[in-house]
Amino acid sequence: MELGSCHSLHGFRNLMASLHEKRQEMAQYERAMLRPGPVFAVPGYCWACNRDTSFQVSYDNCFTGDDGTRMPNWREHLVCPICGLNNRMRAALMFMTEAVDTAEAVYLTEQVTPLYKATAARFPHLIGSEYLRDGTAPGRTNPANLRHEDVTALTLEDGSFACIGSFDVLEHVPDYMAGLHEFARCLRPGGRLLMTVPFALGSHPHVIRAELDADGGIRHIMPPEYHGDPLDTSGVLCFRHFGWALIEDLRLAGFRNARMMFFWSSELGHLGGMQSVLEAVRQ
């Protein structure tokens, strides 16, 4: 499943060159799986369910290939009809399970998603949260039993977790460095941070799309980009696509051995080219 890992833009370029033929095979397989739609199935094995399945795919939020072919957003689809986890969620669960023992304490920066439900079934000492906007105090739960946390000022105790999973969250946080410092504070030494963010693989600096001005207002540098939010149908603003400078940011925040891990698997339904999860170890 794992294609390799690297710590820098230079290492990524070398990895891409070494995988040239493999990437061509991957692209050919994905095109061979395409069907007219609007919904189609891709056979495979669901690691989370431990059984064969037919991953469900649609062309919602699809891309257009260089030749005009419609390409699904594989990362957000390939949903297992049994457990409800899509491509990226199944990968996140697998990386967390491989990173630490299921008896350890884990924090997940989400709580209303299928990923949280599946993680809670494996990790009995899991804490999850959402960024609530209903007046709930930090660290408290609302009537729906959802815990409110701001990742830039967590109410969690120092060194209380063996693993923190934050998947597609940090790009929505204006002060992302404060979030990285909080993750490091709440992890025990040697604890693992597993994270996904929109990543500009060919760039060292971050691609800034929006930022806060001196008065706290939003200044758009690029056309606004909104991502799906399970708590708000209007979506949530993306402030940046991260570049390889994130590896240095993690080191400054108190992490070591930060690396981007790349994976792809036809059998496990992890399609969409080179998928990735970032891992860093608390110093």
Q: 106-132 b/e with 16+ CB inside 10 Å = b?
A: bbbbbbebbbbebbbeebeebbbbbbb
**Tokens 């290492």 map to which residue?**
11
Instruction: Give the residue extent of every domain in the chain.
Output: 2-8+87-282
The predicted model scores a pTM of 0.96
pLDDT (tens digit per residue) in 172-187: 999 999 999 999 999 9
Residue 196's H or E segment, with its range, is strand 187-196
pLDDT (tens digit per residue) in 111-155: 999 999 999 999 999 999 999 999 999 999 999 999 999 999 999
Of the candidates 96, 143, 139, which has an alpha carbon nearest to the alpha carbon of residue 128? 139
Determine whether domain 2-8+87-282 maps to CATH 3.40.50.150: yes
Helices (H) and strands (E) in the chain — how many of each? 6, 17
